[in-house]
């Protein structure tokens, strides 16, 4: 989950820097940008943000269909691995896209992040939302308010959520550095990260999952 969080922070940062100042994971921020674009009369920004919102919704729907095709209990359902595999394919297509069609790249990134969001929600690890930090911070603060800041009950959950926030920041920082140093290959790291997650999940949990 932390690897996925880092990948999402990375993709969101690259999207903002290189895909027309649009978010492809953080739909709260993207909704704000959409509203501002309408008021400012920026037609291009309206199209990009609206496309990101629509593609993210479509990706979430696809991801939810994949991860919930069978509701039988499992530690890591096969459907989640399949969804993340699909996300990896989309990210690979995005990394390999050298066309000038900005809207196509926005759509690919948003679809991928929507799928990851659905997969993370299916796993439901301490309320961790890998693609946006509002939900994660809310879960973290709620645990602190209920159990305190020390290593008491739910201490592990608090550490995971706090670490997720830090990892998201690190992902964005890494993306900013990569855009300066190797802009042409800046989208390869999230492909590798998600692929690692898929391989680990398939190796550890596929047999224990269920037939989706």
Would you list the domain boundaries of the chain?
Answer: 2-205
Residue 56 near residue 111 (C-beta atoms within 8 A): yes
What is the biggest distance separating any 2 CA atoms in the chain, rounded to whole angstroms?
Answer: 53
Q: Which of 20, 110, 132, 136 is nearest to 56 (CA)?
A: 110
* Domain 2-205 annotated CATH 1.10.150: no
Q: pLDDT at residue 172 above 60?
A: yes
pLDDT of 102 strictly over 60 = yes
- Give pLDDT tens digits for 26-75: 999 999 999 999 999 999 999 999 999 999 999 999 999 999 877 666 67
Q: How many whole angstroms separate alpha carbon 126 and alpha carbon 148?
A: 16
pLDDT at 150: 67
Question: pTM, whole model, 2 decimals?
Answer: 0.89
């Amino acid at each position: 989950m932390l690897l996925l969080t880092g990948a999402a922070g990375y993709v969101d940062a690259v999207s903002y820097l290189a895909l027309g100042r649009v978010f492809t994971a953080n739909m709260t921020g993207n909704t704000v940008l959409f509203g501002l674009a309408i008021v400012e009369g920026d037609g291009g920004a309206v199209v990009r943000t609206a496309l990101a919102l629509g593609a993210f919704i479509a990706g979430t729907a696809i991801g939810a269909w994949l991860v919930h095709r069978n509701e039988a209990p499992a530690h890591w359902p096969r459907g989640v691995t399949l969804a993340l595999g699909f996300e990896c394919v989309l990210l690979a297509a995005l990394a390999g896209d050298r066309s000038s069609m900005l809207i196509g790249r926005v759509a690919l990134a948003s679809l991928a992040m929507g799928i990851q969001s659905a997969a993370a929600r299916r796993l439901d690890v301490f309320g961790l939302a890998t693609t946006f930090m509002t939900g994660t911070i809310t879960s973290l603060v709620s645990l602190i308010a209920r159990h305190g800041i020390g290593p008491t009950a739910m201490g592990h959950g608090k550490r995971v959520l706090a670490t997720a926030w830090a990892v998201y920041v690190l992902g964005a920082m890494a993306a900013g550095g990569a855009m300066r140093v190797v802009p042409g290959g800046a989208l390869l790291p999230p492909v590798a990260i998600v692929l690692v997650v898929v391989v680990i999940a398939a190796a550890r949990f596929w047999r224990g999952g269920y037939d989706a």
